[in-house]
Structures are given as C-alpha cells and as structure tokens.
A and B are shown apart, each in its own frame.
Chain A
Amino acid sequence: QVQLVQSGPEVKKAGASVRVSCKASGFTLDNQHINWVRQAPGRGLEWMGWISTYEGNTNYAQNLQARVILTTDTSTKTAYMELRSLTFDDTAVYFCARGWKHFDPWGQGTRVTVSS
C-alpha cells in the first residue's frame, strides 16, 4: 500500500524549532518530489515547499524560505521538515505529500501547537 506516515503531534514554545518526519511505505523516495503543506485551524491549505530527491533541489514558499529546511534520507525512505523561530501563527497541521503537479498520496498530518 502506497502511503506516507508522519510523526506524532508536537507542542513547542515560541522561538523554538520543530522537525516533522514523513516515512514512505510501498514506494521508494528515489526520483520523487516531496511537498510540505500546512493548514492553520479553520483555514485553507498553504504550500510550504518541495524537495526533489532526484537532484536534491529544494523550492520554498517565499514567506517561509528563511525559516524552513526540507531534507530527505533515501536510505530510510524518510523526508523531514524543520521549521525554526516558531510563532503562534505557525500553529497548524502539517502534511507531507508526494508529487510535482499534483499531490498523491498525502501523509495523515502532524499537529504542531506553538505555546507561550
């Protein structure tokens, strides 16, 4: 079964960093685009960036590029999203998703809560 399985919920203080993992099952991460998308409570989807495992290239949303780092470990079929200098506005569910023009499958989502 082709799926992406993400790590569990996180609670972080403002100013801290968070790292979310996304493990592929049923396929390898070779020659793939892995995207990260977040959704604040009651809000829409916000694309954060993608990483290409083929060349190791990344492309980030302009408003996040100073704070987000996407990496992959093809040996463990795991992608990672690290977001630094967290603020309350970063409270959201974070999804990973495979693909370039369209995303399929998606991970189940990881809830990140930023508190004071």
Chain B
Amino acid sequence: QSALTQPASVSGSPGQSITISCTGINSDVGGHNSVSWYQQHPDKAPKVVISDVNNRPSGVSNRFSGSQSGNTASLTISGLQAEDEAHYFCSSLTATDTVVFGGGTKLTVL
C-alpha cells in the first residue's frame, strides 16, 4: 500500500489561510469517507484535528476544516497562528481495512 501524497511543505503568514492536499486512489481516499488529519508538534504524539473528512473533534479550533473531492482530500487552516506551526499528516482506511498515512507536510508560519 503506497503512502498518500502530500506536499512536503507549506507556509503562510499569521492571519492567512493555507490548504494542504492529500491524494490517494479509489481504494483508499476515494473509496471511503474516512480521511483524518493529524497535527504533530516536535517530540509530541500526533493529535487528531479532522476526522471522517470534515468532522472537527471536540476541542479543536474551528479554524481547522476538511473537505474531499474524488481521490483528494484537503485540510484548510484559516487565521493562521504561530501555534499552528507543526507537521500535518492525513490518513485513510483502505479496501483491506488497513490504514495508510500521507508522507506529512511541514507547516511554517512566517
């Protein structure tokens, strides 16, 4: 199972919005409404910020939103803040009930 494709890095200034893409295939991203997004700060465990494509877990800022079109899912962070600087990973269920992650995207807040 190949990793989902994410850009290696994105950047934005405080207050701006950024979008991170996550591209898979029909048997993972395109076949299940199960894309999740995780935020990971250095030397910390990942934390879920979006589940099931566009569901925001309790306690997650409403500046985080998710969407999907076909085999590509997207995470949008609006009103960028310094604390948003982190690595972001997407994941999806697959046709064989396994899980595949994206390679990760480093977000830099300028």
B30 sits at the interface (CB 8 A): no
Q: How far is the CB of A92 from chain B (nearest CB, A)?
A: 13
Q: Judging by beta carbons under 8 Å apart, are A44 and B52 in contact?
A: no
Q: On chain A, which size bracket covers the interface? A: 20 to 34
B interface list, Cβ under 8 A from A: 1, 3, 32, 34, 36, 38, 45-48, 51-52, 57, 89, 91, 93, 96-104
Number of A-B pairs, beta carbon distance below 8 Å: 61
Given A46-B101, A59-B97, CB of A103 within 8 Å of CB of B36: yes
B residues less than 8 Å from A109 (CB atoms): 45
How far apart sit A108 and B52, CA to CA, in the bound complex (Å)?
A: 24
Q: Judging by beta carbons under 8 Å apart, are B1 and A62 in contact?
A: yes
Please tell me which one of the listed residues B34, B45, B101 contacts residue A44 in the complex, with CB atoms under 8 A apart: B101
How far apart sit A106 and B91, CA to CA, in the bound complex (Å)?
A: 15
How far apart sit A88 and B61, CA to CA, in the bound complex (Å)?
A: 39
- From DSSP, what is the main secondary structure of chain A's interface residues? loop
Q: Judging by beta carbons under 8 Å apart, are A101 and B103 in contact?
A: no
Given A44-B102, A108-B45, CB of A101 within 8 Å of CB of B3: no
A interface list, Cβ under 8 A from B: 35, 37, 44-47, 49-50, 59, 61-62, 95, 97, 100-104, 106-109
Q: Judging by beta carbons under 8 Å apart, are B36 and A102 in contact?
A: yes
How far apart sit A46 and B2, CA to CA, in the bound complex (Å)?
A: 11
B residues less than 8 Å from A97 (CB atoms): 46
Q: Judging by beta carbons under 8 Å apart, are B34 and A103 in contact?
A: no
How far apart sit A104 and B36, CA to CA, in the bound complex (Å)?
A: 11
